[in-house]
Amino acid sequence: MKIGFDHEKYLEEQSKYILERVNNFEKLYLEFGGKLLFDLHAKRVLPGFDANAKVELLCKLKEKVEVIICVYAGDIERNKIRGDFGITYDMDTLRLIDDLREYDLDVNSVVITRYEGQPATTVFINKLERRGIKVYIHKATKGYPTDVDTIVSDEGYGKNPYIETTKPIVVVTAPGPGSGKQATCFSQLYHEYKQGRVAGYSKFETFPVWNVPLKHPLNIAYEAATVDLKDVNMIDSFHFDAYNQIAVNYNRDIETFPVLRRIIEKITGEECVYKSPTDMGVNRIGFGIIDDEVVKEAANQEIIRRYFKTECEYKKGYVDKEVFERVKLIMEELNLKEEDRKVVVPARERATRLKEECNKTEVCSAVALELNDGKILTGKRSDVMDAPAAVILNAVKYFANISDEIHLISPVILEPIRSLKSKTLGGKSTALNCEEILIALSICAATNPTAQVAMEKLSMLKGCQAHATTILSRSDEQVFRELGIDLTSDPEYPSESLYYND
């Protein structure tokens, strides 16, 4: 893989910049935009970026840092899913707490924002408290977003309980956007100043990258990733007016900056130190780019992936047509086509051949997988296994130089599993999915050295690209995620069934 980003240079630059900001205050509330852990979007668009760069950065400042996690009650209530992991926001909060503890970072508490007594949220609060996690409840802020006098009063931020913190840097993060991080930071500022302490606020927002061009694919990829939020990148006019310097930000930050500045001035009683929304940020990621062409190509590929993802979400009913039309416009703006993703054409060609061979009218399932050496393999659905499982077995055979004619999994193992699935458990299909095939392979590996060699090659699938001609089951999508394969799919279901689509 070609590298376009210097991870170590970025960490050094970013940690230095945060410490400079901290020195201006007794306490700094640092709002983390994007993903604190497993920032897979950044990793995909910035080859060389470590998906856990942000938490590595915090580990450098460990003695000075504690973490507050915000979750919007409405996201819990409607079971909002984090796309990279396929888990709900409440479950992602639990995962985030566990992962931060593994890094020995201090998790202060969880804040439930805009809580109105939603039943599922109440259950989640009980779950947290009974496991010893401190929980704070924030209601909707009265007067927000225009009535600053009410917002910055005992009827506004003053209604929220004060979160006791002890360290100079308080990181405020969340499973996803719209979780109430900024309101939590400002609520804390209000209480800090009311108690006579000088505190500050900054944003750690990775995208858009303020010091690369507005129409750079890296910034457009951010728009593609947030089409459901209707984020649009813009030139920060406040920054240009103050410094005569072009900087890129996004519409929500620019639109709300005048109000945020007035809120900060009302809380502190002083003129706001920030002249622009870009000033509020501590984003140094642009300084880590070492090969712009590599980054541009990676960003273009991410835009195509986001296009397929949004198209499938539209098919499933998760997003409306306007969202899908926006991502289509982004593709057209950069003159990108579906076929620019290398695995798309081989997958579709294999599906077409299968359709002709079987003389079928319905969609045929096929998956193409591009390996890190550029080799493209395909897999088809059969009575024994589904297409994703087939392509994974084909890949590990290729890595291990095992002939196609050699069966890695003995029928003695396969048949009882298929029988269990269909007869005992009442499954509608006897074809095994990825997880079932990998379990069968691991069983065979205990006695078959060839299967053992193949098993050892699974780690080589990390970073590979795949495309399926049909929407995969959640189980198969999850296995691809866990193997580190970037997957896209055509917006077609494998059958006409409304429920039994495996």
Residue 361 pLDDT > 60:
no
pLDDT recorded at residue 499: 67
pLDDT recorded at residue 211: 95
Residue range 165-193, pLDDT digits in tens:
999 999 999 998 889 999 999 999 999 99
> Which alpha helices (DSSP H) does 344-485 contain, by range?
344-358, 387-399, 411-419, 434-445, 449-456, 474-483
Looking at per-residue confidence, does 145 or 44 come out higher?
Answer: 44
Give one word for 180, left, alpha or beta, with left for phi > 0 and alpha for psi -120 to 50: left
Residue 358 pLDDT > 80:
no
Instruction: For residue 294, give the 3-state DSSP assignment.
Output: helix
Residue range 111-130, pLDDT digits in tens:
999 999 999 999 999 999 99
Residue 235 pLDDT > 90:
yes
Residue range 491-502, pLDDT digits in tens:
999 877 776 665
Burial of 140 (0-12, 13-18, 19+ CB in 10 A): middle
Residue 88 pLDDT > 60:
yes
The two three-digit tokens of residue 155, written as one number: 């009827």
Angle at which helices 217-225 and 321-333 cross, to 10° = 170
pLDDT recorded at residue 177: 84
Q: Pick the closest to residue 118 from 175, 75, 77, 88 (CA basis).
A: 77
Residue range 134-176, pLDDT digits in tens:
999 999 999 988 899 999 999 999 999 999 999 999 999 999 8
pLDDT recorded at residue 359: 65
Q: Judge whether 465 and 375 are in contact, CB under 8 Å.
A: no
pLDDT recorded at residue 494: 85
Residue range 196-230, pLDDT digits in tens:
999 999 998 889 999 999 999 999 999 999 998 88
Could you tell me the pLDDT band of residue 368, with boundaries at 50, 70 and 90?
Answer: very high
pLDDT recorded at residue 373: 93
Angle at which helices 321-333 and 292-316 cross, to 10° = 160
Residue 298 pLDDT > 70:
yes
Domains in the chain and their CATH numbers?
7-207+252-284 (3.10.630.10), 342-489 (3.40.140.40)
pLDDT recorded at residue 166: 94
Cα(304)–Cα(233) distance, integer angstroms? 18
pLDDT recorded at residue 193: 94
Residue range 425-470, pLDDT digits in tens:
887 778 899 999 999 999 999 999 999 999 999 999 999 999 999 9
Q: Rg for the chain (alpha carbons), in Å?
A: 25
Residue whose tokens read 């990148």: 233
Q: Pick the closest to residue 227 from 286, 333, 307 (CA basis).
A: 307
pLDDT recorded at residue 179: 92
Mean pLDDT score of the chain, rounded to an integer? 92
Min mean pLDDT across 21-35, 122-136, 393-407 is at: 21-35
What average pLDDT does range 4-21 have in this prediction? 89
Cα(103)–Cα(171) distance, integer angstroms? 15
Could you tell me the pLDDT band of residue 73, with boundaries at 50, 70 and 90?
Answer: very high
Residue 349 pLDDT > 80:
yes
